[in-house]
Structures are given as structure tokens and as C-alpha cells.
Amino acid sequence: MKTTVHKADSRGKADHGWLSSHHSFSFANYYNPERMNFGVLRVLNDDIVAPGMGFGKHPHDNMEIISIPLSGDLEHQDSMGNTTVIKQGDIQVMSAGTGIFHSEYNKNKDKEVKFLQIWVIPNKKNVAPRYDQITIDESSAKDQLLQILSPNPDDHGVWIHQNAWFHLGNFAKGHNEHYDLKDKTNGVYVFVLEGDIIIENQELNKRDGIGIWEAPKFDIKATSDSKILIMEVPISI
């Protein structure tokens, strides 16, 4: 087993007034040659958008983009004709493929919106752009792992053009969880949303991340009430 640990306070930070963002990997003005990606996981941004503010219309192509709201309401519009609002409990995915434009705004004028913006490098280029969103029952992740993303349109959660699986877990203090990789050649990046956990004798706290590879499985222990996101992705790009 090989691991790399990214403590919360080691992340890149951007504060634009209307947007506060922490970058687990190099993004925009944050550049760290040792933190470019974890396999095909290219971007993991922890964003807070001020009331009524947001990202104006901008382009993407050949990237799988996943948004996971943590609180508040995020209004989405895109060049495919979608106008939607996503909130806590929703999972949004876009295959940018041959190219899309989209905007994301905080729908509320009186409170922040917090969400994770995740980019995964696809295994197919120039696919037809695609949008989807689902609502999950987060209570299903109580003391177990809930799959929210996979490569298979017929499987649980949303799907992307990549051999990747994402899971959410809400664990009570003292809970022990076991994760078996779906593909033993993949790696896993675990991001702690809330609380404290231990993985392979490594203590991890809120907003810490750990990358694990060359390991078919690993164990997780919650040392406080915790919420985590597990992202299993190919290591080779």
C-alpha cells in the first residue's frame, strides 16, 4: 500500500470576496507541481459562494464535472438548455465532451452556498455533452457506504465516462468500515467532510484528504461522528 496525505491547511486557497475556495490540487492561480492530480482525479475544490453571487457563463470540454452541494441552493444553467437548482442531497454531473457553456449561481440572497466541484479526466474524448442530476437519501449512508457514482448508467447514482466509483459515508463515533476496491488497479482518494477518522493508522480530520494506491482494500475507523467522500479512480491517465 502506498499513501499520500493532504492536510486541510496545506490546500491552495483563493478568496475573491464573492468566492472562497480551497483547492486540493493545482487550479487557477494555485500551482503545486506535486499536487497536480490523483490519477484521473484532476480537481477537488471546496467552494463557498456569497449570497446572490456565482460563476458566470464559461466553457468546458473533455472533462467529467461533478458537483456535490453541502448546504444552500446552487442554480445551474447551461448551453444544453438545462436550468436547475441543486441543494444538499443532490448530485450533479456533466460530461463536457465536445464542449459546453454553463453558469452556477447562489440562488439565495441571504445565505452562502457550499459545494464540492470535482473534475475527472474522461476515458473517452469528444463525447456528446450530457447533464444529469439525482437526489439521494443521505440516511442510506448511515454507518455504511452509499454509492453515488459509477461507470455504469444502470448502477446506483450518476455515471461518468471513466472507470470510477464514488461513495458517501456518515459514520457514528466508533464505527468501523471496510472498503474493497471495485477495480484493484485503481487508487482511492478519501476526503473528510466532517469529523475525524483513522485509515491505516493515519489520523485524518475535517477537510483532510488521503490518496491510497497499490492496495486492494483498506479499513476506516470513525473517531468522532464523521462524514466522508470516497473517490475510486484509475491511477494511470
pLDDT tens readout for residues 106-130: 999 999 999 999 999 999 999 999 9
Band (223; pLDDT cuts 50, 70, 90): very high
Q: Residue 89: which region, alpha, beta or left (left: phi > 0; alpha: psi -120 to 50)?
A: left
Q: Which residues contact 55 (CB under 8 A, 6 or more apart)?
A: 19, 49, 103, 104, 105
- pLDDT of residue 166 exceeding 90: yes
Q: Do domains 11-135 and 138-234 have the same CATH topology?
A: yes
- pLDDT of residue 63 exceeding 90: yes
pLDDT digits (tens, 9 = 90+) for 80-111: 999 999 999 999 999 999 999 999 999 999 99
138-234 in CATH: which number?
Answer: 2.60.120.10
**DSSP secondary structure letters along 47-87:** EEE-TT-EEEEEEE-S-EEEEEEEESEEEEEETTS-EEEEE
Was domain 11-135 assigned CATH 2.60.120.10?
Answer: yes
pLDDT digits (tens, 9 = 90+) for 19-50: 999 999 999 999 999 999 999 999 999 999 99
Q: What local confidence, expressed as pLDDT, does residue 24 receive?
A: 98
Domain ranges (residues) in the chain: 11-135, 138-234
Band (140; pLDDT cuts 50, 70, 90): confident
> What span, in angstroms and rounded, lies between the C-alpha atoms of 165 and 153?
12
Q: What local confidence, expressed as pLDDT, does residue 216 receive?
A: 97
> What span, in angstroms and rounded, lies between the C-alpha atoms of 162 and 68?
18
> What span, in angstroms and rounded, lies between the C-alpha atoms of 111 and 83?
21
- Which is nearest to 209 in space by CA: 21, 23, 65? 23
Name the average pLDDT for the chain: 97
Give mean pLDDT, residues 9-17.
Answer: 96
Band (139; pLDDT cuts 50, 70, 90): confident
| pLDDT > 90 in the chain, percent | 97
Q: Which residues contact 31 (CB under 8 A, 6 or more apart)?
A: none
Q: What local confidence, expressed as pLDDT, does residue 212 receive?
A: 98
Q: What local confidence, expressed as pLDDT, does residue 208 receive?
A: 98
* Residues 218, 222, 149, 31, CA torsion sign: negative
- pLDDT of residue 69 exceeding 90: yes
Q: Could you tell me the pTM of the whole model?
A: 0.97
